[in-house]
Structure 1
Amino acid sequence: MSSRKIKNMEEFAAVSGISRPTLSKFFNDPTSVRSSTRKRVEAALDRYDYRPNLYAMNQNRRLTKNIGVVVPHLADPFFAKIARTIEEHILRQGFRPVLLGSHGSPEMELENLENLRMLKPAGVLLAAFGRSSDHAQIQTFTGEVPTVLFDANIEKVGKAFIGSNNEQSVDLIVDYLCRTGEPPAFFEMKDPMNPNAYKRRAAYVRAMERLGQTPHLIQVGGEGWEFEEIGFREGTRVIRDRSLPSKTILCSNDRLAIGLLSAIFEAGMSVGIEAGHDFRVAGHDDHPFSRFTCPRLTTVSQDYEAIAEKSATTLLALIEADDSLDSRTETLFDGKLVLRGSA
């Protein structure tokens, strides 16, 4: 390997004896050149340890074509569904999505952003962890790369945020539960990672007070992304301790509710809207699994399609404007009540 440091593609073309247009063609699409040429380029890359500045190459064109999409966990069907919907919108506009999951780890979230920083895509759609995210690092990143946040908001970070109207959706389901039975207690993690959880907690308290009811928060321990496990373990505990202040339980999200449903079943008790059942249970999000629980889970749906489309179109408009939009915008979509057998 040569010890000489190659600064740019012009120098690399000079030392390798391969023309600049041929190198550009190779770096844009290695399959677009003959196999013999490809081997020459690859040998020269190994010899001179040259790595092209993809961002600079792309900036020589009007637009780059890669768009990063970063979510907390691609294995979570909620994020998998919204990421697929975003991907479809991006592809229809002629861009290439790069989907990255952070595996429930704020450290991996930063690593994903660093990998994207090296790739320098046209823009990034980021569903951040929120409270546990490194806000300073993310703010630095969004100052360099056009970024739109979705699902979880970090104040003053990025040029836009697209998400759900938690105030409206929680008020909607609290009102329904109070009209149709015993007012609900709110089952949640005491220290959740996602800022939506805090907004839902506050919205529940306000909705109960508006209706002249006393709020009851069931705040349980647990960290990380295994919400079903937390719901089952802590649900088992509060049922055993007979510490539930109401027979109607509204969970902060559907995944906690799924765990709670299992805990109630294991305790030999039942859930349902009809008279004679021990509990009513409701959730939030309309998680893809919520329609297949037993009984099927009453919840509030997020408008996946609208959030995905608005996120994609907002980022594309930001890219077209060369990241020069003056003010940060926030767009919230209302939820819809989804009535099933659990409440």
Structure 2
Amino acid sequence: MDEFAAMSGISRPTLSKYFNDPTSVRSSTRQRIESALADVDYRPNMYAINQNRRMTNNIGIVVPYLADPFFAEIARVMEQHVIDAGFRPVLLGSHGLPSQEIENLDNLRLVKPAGVLLAPLGRTSELDRIADFCADVPTVFFDANIEPLGEAFSGSDNMQSIGLIVDYLCRTGEPPVFFEMKTPSNPNAYKRRNAYVAAMERLGQEPHLVQVEGEGWDFENIGFTGAQAVLSSRGLPSNTLLCSNDRLAIGLLAAAYQLGFRVGQGEGCALRVAGHDDHPFSRYTCPALTTVSQDYSAIATRAAEVLFGIIESGHRPDQKLESHFEGRLIMRGSA
């Protein structure tokens, strides 16, 4: 910047003021600066600038697994909101690993973000390290909540959405059993388990949990392997299975096909299968998967807007702000 000031004949303080906010200098001065910038193709070193700022226009977006189309889609919506609001998105995936989740947060510290939108791993997250980060950086959680950390949370109303699909399945056939991982990775799974039990009891039905082994985020494989064992035993108390998420259901559908079970409603069908999330692939399974949609756009938009409000006000809320969005029943061929 010193060299550019000498070349352009504009003082270094004026240039610094311009780079922080172009509208803060007179229009005639701004034109001189921008003309000189074009002549030399000068660009400021944002990493160096960040060292001298308390925070920047960077906003981190951290998701558990970028290869999952669910998280890729919700991150895409958030990224566009961040760009439209004049911030710079920094998108990172944790690969389902607690160590990578913490490394992502540590790397974000280096660019001094104005705030972070975080979908945590949940059960396996290093809570103390995340708490330290949240104390330093305004953080809004989405998809999965960690109480009492962060300024806000935006996600689905699992009690409403599971109640909605349990009611539908009971009305249209045998009451469902709940197909899930014994030790889920995502906190939503525990909420959906409790919501299923509550919904079945409300309808006067006996809840049945079918819990399969598996760790991590390879849900399709866990669903496939677990369903092979469950379906082979032919010991299910119902022909209807409600899966904790669509990715488990996709694995279950593959296992049912391999074992010769026809899925759907009507003559010749042995099973009904439903899921939760309206995963982008759920409409393309065979048969297409009945599910409950999460409102991707509303969840992403609310999380981003709350974070922008906190950044612009310069004040963190006294109480954590929580937004829970209702799901919508998507009826397809599997149930």
TM superposition score category, shorter chain reference: 0.7 to 0.9
Q: How far is 1:312 from its partner?
A: 0.6
Q: Which residue of 2 aligns with 1:305?
A: 297
Q: Which residue of 2 aligns with 1:16?
A: none
Q: Which residue of 1 aligns with 2:182?
A: 190
Q: Which residue of 1 aligns with 2:273?
A: 281
Q: Which residue of 2 aligns with 1:317?
A: 309
Q: Which residue of 2 aligns with 1:56?
A: 52
State the distance in 2 between where 1:75 and 1:336 align: 25
Q: Which residue of 2 aligns with 1:127?
A: 119
Q: Which residue of 1 aligns with 2:169?
A: 177
Q: How far is 1:165 from its partner?
A: 0.1
RMSD of the alignment, in Å? Answer: 2.5
> Size of the alignment, in residue pairs?
312
State the distance in 2 between where 1:305 and 1:75 align: 19
Partner secondary structure for residue 175 of structure 2: coil
State the distance in 1 between where 2:143 and 2:311 align: 20
State the distance in 2 between where 1:137 and 1:32 align: 42
TM-score (norm 1): 0.85
CA contact (8 A) 2:138 2:316 kept: no
Q: Which residue of 2 aligns with 1:45?
A: none
Q: Which residue of 2 aligns with 1:337?
A: 329
1:89 partnered with 2:85: no
Percent identity at matched positions? 62
Q: Which residue of 2 aligns with 1:68?
A: 60
State the distance in 1 between where 2:42 and 2:300 align: 41
Structure 2 unaligned regions, length at least 5: 6-10, 21-35
Q: How far is 1:280 from its partner?
A: 0.1
Structure 1 unaligned regions, length at least 5: 1-8, 14-18, 43-50
CA contact (8 A) 1:185 1:217 kept: yes
Aligned runs of 1:172-321 on 2, under 5 Å? Answer: 172-321=164-313
Q: Which residue of 2 aligns with 1:149?
A: 141
State the distance in 2 between where 1:36 and 1:220 align: 59
Q: How far is 1:57 from its partner?
A: 2.7
Change (3 A) 1:23 1:236: farther
Q: How far is 1:24 from its partner?
A: 5.6
CA deviations 1:204-253 (Å, max 9, x no partner) are 00000110001000000001111000111110111112232211000000
Q: How far is 1:136 from its partner?
A: 1.0
Matching residue's letter, 1:271? V
CA deviations 1:257-276 (Å, max 9, x no partner) are 00000000000111002232
> Deviating runs (4+, > 4 A) in structure 1?
19-25, 31-38
Partner secondary structure for residue 69 of structure 1: strand
Change (3 A) 1:157 1:33: farther
